[in-house]
């Protein structure tokens, strides 16, 4: 399965979701390739940090590819891995379009904030254009960094549910300290101590909905 995290907004959690999904699949025994297709190279930096904290046992293969090469290289590599996760930047770039043209799943996190939600229309246009050439693409949206209380989650969810081209997954990921703590240690949320069961449960639920594994 080829899964791309993306969107038209920085800081929504694309890299967080991509790296955690990669690690969860790798820890299940799958051979996973993490493609960093973002010029900001955050997942590459994370992996370099993980190399140190795991003494080289990162558990997956990481490469950095941008532009149209994302499509050609991923097509060459697809038979060599069980799963490929592509982390893209928060803009409509040739890298993100190339990634989507070869993906089975497009995963777009949204924080429950107006500035984020306002980018939905642009994401929909992007998806509608990609679907012309890639009708098999499944595009999903979900809330990341959801508030523990307040009406913002529901308001945001209502808007996301109206999307024509992307399916809303009612499986929000809460705004939890463990995400930055884990990243700072080069670990996935499922690996870091102390264990945050709520965060793990939310991730497992979301990924089950996407991958059915």
Which residues of the shown chain bind Mg ion in the complex (CB under 5 A)? Answer: 14-15, 42
- C-beta of 180: minimal distance to ligand ADP in Å? 4
By three-state DSSP, how is residue 76 classified? helix
HSE-up of residue 199 (Cα within 13 Å, Cβ side): 23
Query: Both tokens of residue 26?
Result: 């790798």
- Determine which residue in the list 1, 10, 39, 211 makes contact with ligand ADP, applying CB under 6 A: 10
Q: Is 50 in the site for ligand ADP (CB under 6 A)?
A: no
- Determine which residue in the list 20, 22, 42, 93 makes contact with ligand ADP, applying CB under 6 A: 42
- Determine which residue in the list 2, 4, 16, 66 makes contact with ligand ADP, applying CB under 6 A: 16
Q: Is 14 in the site for ligand ADP (CB under 6 A)?
A: yes
Q: Which is nearer to ligand ADP, 183 or 210 (CB)?
A: 183
- C-beta of 16: minimal distance to Mg ion in Å? 8
Query: What is d(CA 208, CA 153) in angstroms, rounded to the nearest whole number?
Result: 21
- C-beta of 29: minimal distance to Mg ion in Å? 26
Q: Which is nearer to ligand ADP, 19 or 163 (CB)?
A: 19
Cβ atoms of 68 and 125 within 8 Å: the answer is no
The DSSP letter of residue 9 is -
Q: Is 90 in the site for ligand ADP (CB under 6 A)?
A: yes
CA-closest candidate to residue 29, choices 59, 74, 63, 61: 59
Q: Is 49 in the site for ligand ADP (CB under 6 A)?
A: no
Residue tagged 């770039």 (tokens):
93
Torsion, Cα 5 173 117 14, to 10 degrees, reads -20
Phi, psi of 40 (to 5 degrees): -75, -15
Task: Give 141's strand partners.
Answer: 108, 168
Q: Is 112 in the site for ligand ADP (CB under 6 A)?
A: no
Question: Which residues, numbered 115-154, are part of the site for ligand ADP (CB under 6 A)?
Answer: 144-145
Question: Contact residues for ligand ADP (CB under 6 A)?
Answer: 10-16, 42, 90, 144-145, 173, 175-176, 179-180, 183
């Amino acid at each position: 399965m080829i899964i791309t995290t993306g969107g038209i907004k920085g800081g929504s959690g694309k890299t967080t979701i991509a790296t955690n999904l990669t690690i969860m699949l790798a820890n299940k025994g799958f051979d996973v390739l993490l493609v960093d297709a973002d010029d900001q190279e955050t997942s590459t930096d994370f992996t370099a940090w993980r190399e140190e904290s795991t003494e080289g046992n990162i558990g997956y293969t990481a490469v950095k590819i941008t532009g149209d090469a994302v499509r050609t290289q991923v097509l060459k590599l697809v038979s060599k891995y069980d799963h490929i996760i592509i982390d893209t930047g928060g803009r409509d770039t040739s890298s993100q379009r190339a990634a989507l043209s070869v993906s089975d799943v497009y995963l777009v996190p949204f924080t429950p904030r107006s500035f984020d939600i306002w980018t939905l229309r642009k994401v929909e246009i992007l998806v509608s254009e990609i679907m012309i050439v890639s009708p098999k693409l499944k595009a999903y949206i979900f809330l990341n960094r959801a508030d523990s209380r307040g009406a913002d989650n529901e308001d945001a969810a209502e808007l996301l549910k109206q999307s024509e081209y992307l399916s809303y997954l009612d499986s929000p990921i809460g705004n939890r300290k463990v995400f930055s703590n884990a990243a700072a240690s080069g670990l996935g949320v499922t690996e870091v101590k102390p264990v945050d069961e709520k965060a793990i449960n939310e991730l497992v639920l979301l990924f089950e909905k996407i991958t059915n594994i």
